[in-house]
Amino acid sequence: MKKQPRSLADVTIRSERLILRPITLDDARDVFIEFNDNVTKMMAHGPNESLEATSEFIEKTIQQTREGEKLQFVIVDKEEKFLGLASIEDANHRTPEIGLWLKKAAQGKGFGTELVFALVEWANQNLEFDYIKYRVHAQNVGSWKIAEKLIEKYGGEFIGETPEILQGVERMTKVYHIFPENS
């Protein structure tokens, strides 16, 4: 049986080039600056309207992490340069969901693939799950290519496309299920 860490608030995940560490209020400025309209155009929500709203988002996610509901990470490189955010939602359920958001300058460098594989590896070692959900905007080719790589390595399936309201507009989302290792 896999054992969940005593406190999700202390989880740090390392990969070859990246560190996924717990988010703190010290990250608010980077999150506010980097998550602009250009980066959030394929996300469920747009950018925060203010630094204060960004801090409120961070406080909420820190509380959710303490409660074991989710893990919210800041993605940094080995020099601690801010690259984006990643999460495991519903970490205490049988069907957690992973997500990532990279700043524009970090896109197209393989970071998305590296960090999603690191998240799934961590989940395989620490969580009991039936499958991990990975939902991506249907036009976000890079993200659904990551899903295909995950399915190739771990097994899983493309569930289909479903309409979702993203920033007040109905858009299609691709839904994938990634199976536990050795399932």
pLDDT reported for residue 38: 58
Query: Is there a domain that residue 94 lies in?
Result: yes
User: Tokens 């990470």 belong to which residue?
Assistant: 73
Query: Is there a domain that residue 152 lies in?
Result: no
**Mapping DSSP to helix (H, G, I), strand (E, B) and coil, where does residue 61 land?**
helix
Query: Is there a domain that residue 101 lies in?
Result: yes
Amino acid at 96: P
Q: Taking the model in full, what pTM does it have? A: 0.86
Query: Is there a domain that residue 157 lies in?
Result: no
Query: Is there a domain that residue 92 lies in?
Result: yes
Element (H, E) at 141: helix 141-154
Domains contained in the chain, number:
1
Please state, as a whole number, how many other Cβ atoms lie within 10 Å of the Cβ of residue 157.
12
Rounded Cα distance, 108 and 34, in Å: 16
Query: Which range of residues forms the domain containing residue 16?
Result: 8-129
Tell the burial category of 43 from Cβ atoms under 10 Å away from its Cβ (0-12, 13-18, 19+): middle
CATH code at position 80: 3.40.630.30
> How would you write the pLDDT of the chain (183 residues) with one tens digit per residue?
555 555 777 899 999 999 999 999 999 999 888 875 555 555 555 555 788 988 998 999 999 998 888 999 999 999 999 999 999 999 989 999 998 888 888 988 999 999 999 999 999 999 999 999 998 888 888 888 999 999 999 999 999 998 876 656 677 889 999 999 876
Query: Is there a domain that residue 50 lies in?
Result: yes
